Copies of this chain bind each other. A is one copy, B any other.
Amino acid sequence: MEKIESLQNGRVKNWKKLATKKGREQSGTYLLDGWHLVKEAMAAQATVKTVMGTAAAWREYGDLMPRDLNALEISPEIAKTISDTVTPQGIFAEVAVPEAATALPDVVHGAWLFLDAVQDPGNIGTMVRTADAAGFAGVVFGRGTADQFAPKVVRAMQGSQFHIQLVTEDLYAALRYFKRSGLAVYGTKLDPTAVNFREVQSGADFGLIMGNEGNGMADQLGTLTKANLYIPILGQAESLNVAVAAGVLMFQLKQE
């Protein structure tokens, strides 16, 4: 197996660039960090360009991988350099950004989460993971929402990008599209005059919009929804973390 030891190697520099949106757009790939994600990518038959591992990682995981990989050995220093974590497992994959990531399917089915200008990559990734767990079909990333394949988003998704559809789309366009498909879209508001989330019968196919951490969903989006939902706050906290609120709503609306 080919070994890379120098931090100055061109491929190492390219892997580091995958931490930026520009780098991912230039290469059409993003980085998976850790065995769980590498395993998920292979199970999902994602387009794996290269698998990079330290000698220790290849000893541990090599037998669990297919034979026809484009495999490279990297030094522990390189592993530290390209990882977003403090103590990387030492196993990585460079995988293709799926083309489907840019468009809604022709016919929309199932439950979908809409993200309106959500900022925190950990929140975004956690919401994708939760949407997967709750049986949602996909997540629509609206304008101003952090990139799907930023390292902290990828880490928090825990591989759910291989299970459900991730789409980048203007939310107003997506909302019209859902309406034409006969699907209700619900907004969310931190406003007790909105509809209590426990009083909605959404059925299995619908959209649910979560908004920005500080400002919530855009007011204009809220005028176009079937209803806007709120979660009653019983204590003195002013609000919920957006990923927690999304979890409470998704598991309430989608029950089957």
Contact = CB atoms under 8 A, between A and B. Distances in A.
Interface of A: 122, 126, 129-136, 156, 158-160, 163-164, 198, 231, 233-241, 243-248, 251-252, 254-256
B248 A129 contact: no
A163 B160 CA distance: 35
A154 to B, nearest CB: 14
B133 A235 contact: yes
Contacts of A235: 131-136, 160, 163-164
23 contacts: A122-B122, A126-B241, A129-B237, A129-B240, A130-B237, A130-B240, A130-B244, A131-B235, A133-B231, A133-B235, A134-B235, A135-B235, A158-B237, A163-B237, A164-B235, A198-B255, A234-B254, A234-B256, A240-B247, A244-B244, A244-B246, A247-B248, A248-B251
B236 A163 contact: yes
A241 B198 contact: no
Contacts of A248: 247-248, 251
A234 B198 contact: no
A160 B240 CA distance: 11
B238 A158 contact: yes
B247 A135 contact: no
Given A133-B233, A156-B241, A247-B247, 15 more contacts: A126-B241, A130-B241, A132-B235, A132-B236, A132-B237, A133-B235, A133-B237, A135-B234, A136-B235, A158-B238, A163-B235, A163-B237, A164-B235, A243-B243, A248-B251
Nearest to A238: B158
Nearest to A156: B241
Nearest to A244: B247
Contacts of A234: 133-135, 254, 256
Contacts of A252: 251
A159 B247 CA distance: 22
